[in-house]
C-alpha cells in the first residue's frame, strides 16, 4: 500500500525558533497533501491543504504567515512553524490521497514541544 512518512517524528525547540516538518509520499505522487493538528484528547483539526505548484489553502483561523507550507514537488510538502510558542505544542499529522480523495494515507505524525 501507499506510504507517507514524516520527519522529524519528535522535536523540542525553544520559544521563538522555527521548526520545519517534512511530509513525503514514498511510493506515489501526491498533488495534494493535508496538514492536521491534534491537541491532547481532541480530534484532528485540518490546518491547510497543500497544493503542488501553487499556494496552500488555509482553514479559517490558521495564520498563513505563521504556518508556512511549501509543496515543492509531487512527493514532498513541508510545514514550517515560524516563531514557535508553547501554545503551538501539538501533534502535527499530514495525509495524502492515493487513488482518489476518499483514500487518505496518514504520516506517522510529528510531536512538537515548544519550551
- DSSP code string of 42-91: S--EEEEEEETTS--EEPTT--TTTEEEEEEETTEEEEEE-S--GGG-EE
Q: Which is nearer to other proteins, 18 or 42 (CB)?
A: 42
DSSP structure class, residue 26: S
Q: Which residues of this chain interact with other proteins, rule CB under 8 A?
A: 34, 41-46, 49, 91, 93, 101-104, 106-109, 111
CB 15, min distance to other proteins, A: 23
Q: Which is nearer to other proteins, 84 or 93 (CB)?
A: 93
CB 72, min distance to other proteins, A: 23
CB 104, min distance to other proteins, A: 7
Q: Which is nearer to other proteins, 61 or 101 (CB)?
A: 101
Q: Which is nearer to other proteins, 45 or 68 (CB)?
A: 45
CA 27 to chain CA centroid, Å, is 18
CB 95, min distance to other proteins, A: 8
Residues 61 and 41: their CA atoms lie apart, in Å, by 20
The single residue listed with the C-alpha cell 483539526 is 45
Alpha-carbon Rg for the chain in angstroms: 13
Amino acid at each position: 500500500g501507499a506510504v507517507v512518512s514524516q520527519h522529524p517524528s519528535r522535536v523540542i525547540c525553544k520559544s521563538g525558533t522555527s521548526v520545519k516538518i517534512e511530509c513525503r509520499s514514498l511510493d506515489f505522487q501526491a498533488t495534494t497533501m493535508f496538514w492536521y493538528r491534534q491537541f491532547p484528547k481532541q480530534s484532528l483539526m485540518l490546518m491547510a491543504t497543500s497544493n503542488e505548484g501553487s499556494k496552500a489553502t488555509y482553514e479559517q483561523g490558521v495564520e498563513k504567515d505563521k504556518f508556512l507550507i511549501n509543496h515543492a514537488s509531487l512527493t514532498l510538502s513541508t510545514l514550517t512553524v515560524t516563531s514557535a510558542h508553547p501554545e503551538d505544542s501539538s501533534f502535527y499529522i499530514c495525509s495524502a490521497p492515493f487513488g482518489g480523495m476518499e483514500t487518505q494515507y496518514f504520516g506517522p505524525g510529528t510531536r512538537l514541544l515548544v519550551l
